[in-house]
Chains A and B, each alone.
Chain A
Amino acid sequence: MTRRGFFRKVVIGALSGAVGIIVSIPVIRLVINARPPGRLAWSRVGDITSLPHESPVAMNFEMRSAQAYMHQLILRDVWVIRHAGGNVTVFSPICPHLGCHYKWDPATGHFECPCHGSVFTVNGKVIGGPAPRPLDTLPHKIENGALYVQWERFRVGIPQKVRI
Chain B
Amino acid sequence: MMRRIWAWFTEKWPYYEVRDFLLEEEIPGPPSYAYAFGSLIVFLVALQVATGIAALFYYVPTIDHAYNSVAFLRRQVPFGWLIHNMHYWGANLMVMVLAMHMVRVYAWGAYKTQLTWVIGVVLLLTTMALSLTGATLIWDQKGYWAGEVSTSIAGEVPLVGGIQEIVMRGSHTMGQLALSRSFVFHVAIFAPLLALFIGAHILSFRRTGIVGPWEPSKRYSKSRFWPDQAVKDVIMASAVFFIILFLSVFFPPPFAGAADTLNTMYVPKPEWNFLFLYQALKYFKGPMEPIGAAGVPTILVGLLVILPFIDKDPERNPFKRPVAMACLFAYAGVVVALTILGYLSPGLAQMPSPAAQGKTAVHAKLPGAKRGEELFSIQGCTLCHRIHGKGGTAGPELSGGTLTGKSRKWVIDQLKNPKSHFPASIMPSFATMGNSDLNALADYLFSIRTAPTASLPPPLPVSVLSKAPPGIMVIPPDTVPGSASGDAAFIIGSAENGAKLFRDQCRQCHGAAGKGGITDPGSSIGTIPALVPLSRALFNPDPDIFAGNIDKYIQHGAVPPGPKPVFYMPDFGDSRSLTQQEIANIEAYVLKLNGVDRGGLQNPGLKPADFLAGAAIVFAAAIFLAVVLSRRRGRGA
Query: Could you list which residues of chain A lie within 8 angstroms of chain B, going by C-beta atoms?
Result: 31-35, 49-62, 65, 67-70, 72, 75-77, 80, 84, 93, 97-110, 112-117, 119, 127-130, 132, 153, 155-159, 164
Contact of A84 with B399 at beta-carbon distance under 8 Å, contacts A49-B458, A75-B579, A127-B355 already known? no
Task: List, sorted by A's number, 21 A–B pairs whose CB atoms are closer than 8 Å.
Answer: A50-B397, A50-B458, A50-B461, A51-B389, A52-B389, A52-B399, A52-B400, A52-B401, A54-B450, A57-B389, A58-B389, A67-B173, A68-B176, A70-B176, A76-B262, A103-B349, A109-B359, A110-B352, A116-B348, A130-B285, A157-B290
**Bound: A152/B634 CA distance, A:** 77
Chain B residues, CB < 8 A from A50: 393, 396-397, 458-459, 461
Identify the interface centre among B267, B348, B357, B399: most chain A CB within 10 Å of its CB.
B348
> B541: CB under 8 A from chain A?
no
Interface contact B156-A157, CB-CB below 8 Å: yes
In the complex, which of the residues B167, B170, B263, B285 contacts A129, with contact meaning CB atoms closer than 8 Å?
Answer: B285
Expressed in whole angstroms, the minimum distance between the Cβ of B585 and any Cβ of chain A is 14
Is B153 in contact with chain A by the CB < 8 A criterion? yes
Task: Produce 1/0 per residue, B370-407, CB < 8 A to A.
Answer: 00000000000000001111000100110111100000
B residues 26-70 in Cβ contact with A at 8 Å: 62-64
Looking across the interface, which residue of chain B has its beta carbon closest to that of A158? Answer: B156
Chain A proximity of B187: nearest CB distance (Å)? 16
Is there contact, CB below 8 Å, between B389 and A119? no
In the complex, B329 has a CB within 8 A of chain A:
no
CA distance A99 to B461 in the complex (A): 36
**Who on chain B is nearest to A85 by CB?**
B455
Bound-state Cα–Cα, A107 to B576, Å: 26
Q: List the A side residues contacting B386 at CB < 8 Å.
A: 52
Chain B contacts with A in 276-320, Cβ cutoff 8 A: 281-282, 284-287, 289-290, 293
CB–CB A104/B267 < 8 A: no
Task: Identify the closest chain B residue to A61 (Cβ).
Answer: B576
A119 in contact with B397 (CB, 8 Å): no
Q: Collect the chain B residues with CB atoms within 8 Å of residue A34's CB.
A: 166, 169-172
Q: Is B148 an interface residue (CB 8 A)?
A: yes
Partner of B453 from the list A54, A60, A62, A128 (CB cut-off 8 Å) is A54
> Could you tell me if B389 and A157 are in contact, using CB atoms closer than 8 angstroms?
no
B626 sits at the interface (CB 8 A):
no
Check A117 against B353 for contact (C-beta < 8 Å). Answer: yes
Q: Is the CB of B267 within 8 A of A114?
A: yes
For the complex, what is the distance from the CA of A156 to the CA of B148, rounded to whole Å? 11
Is B388 within 8 A of A53, CB to CB? no
Q: Could you say which interface size class chain B belongs to?
A: 35 or more
The winner among B170, B264, B281, B397 for most chain A CB atoms within 10 A is B264
Most chain-A Cβ atoms within 10 A of its Cβ — which of B352, B356, B458? Answer: B356
Complex contact A32–B353 (CB within 8 A): no
Of all chain B residues, the one with the shortest Cβ separation from A133 is B286
Pairwise interchain contact A105-B352, C-beta atoms closer than 8 A: yes
A56 touches B459 (CB 8 A): no
B286: chain A residues within 8 A (beta carbon): 130, 132
| A157 pairs with B153, CB closer than 8 A | yes
Q: Produce 1/0 per residue, B442-468, CB < 8 A to A.
A: 000000101101110011010000000
Chain A residue numbers with a CB within 8 Å of B461 are: 50
B175 CB within 8 Å of chain A:
yes
B186 to chain A, nearest CB (A): 15
Contacts of A104 in B (CB 8 A): 388
Q: Which residues of chain B are within 8 angstroms of A164 by Cβ–Cβ distance?
A: 172-173
- Least distance between A121 CB and chain B CB atoms (Å): 9
By the criterion CB–CB under 8 Å, are A55 and B450 in contact?
Answer: yes
Q: Is there contact, CB below 8 Å, between A106 and B399?
A: yes
The CA-CA distance from A129 to B352 in the complex, in Å, is: 9
* B149 adjacent to A115 (CB under 8 Å): yes
Contact across chains for A114 and B347 when beta carbons are under 8 A apart: yes
**With A54-B453, A108-B356 given, is the CB distance from A100 to B148 under 8 Å?**
yes
Q: Are B171 and A35 closer than 8 Å at their CB atoms? A: yes
A98-B399 contact in complex given A108-B360, A112-B349, A128-B356, C-beta closer than 8 Å: no
B448 — nearest CB in chain A belongs to which residue? Answer: A106
Question: B163 — which chain A residues lie within 8 A by C-beta?
Answer: 32
Contacts of B177 in A (CB 8 A): 67-68
Interface centre among A49, A117, A155 (most CB of B within 10 A): A117
Chain B residues positioned under 8 Å from A75 (CB to CB):
262, 576, 579
* A49 to chain B: closest residue by CB: B458
- The 10 closest A-B CB pairs, nearest first, are A52-B400, A117-B348, A57-B389, A128-B353, A164-B172, A157-B156, A114-B349, A70-B176, A67-B175, A98-B152
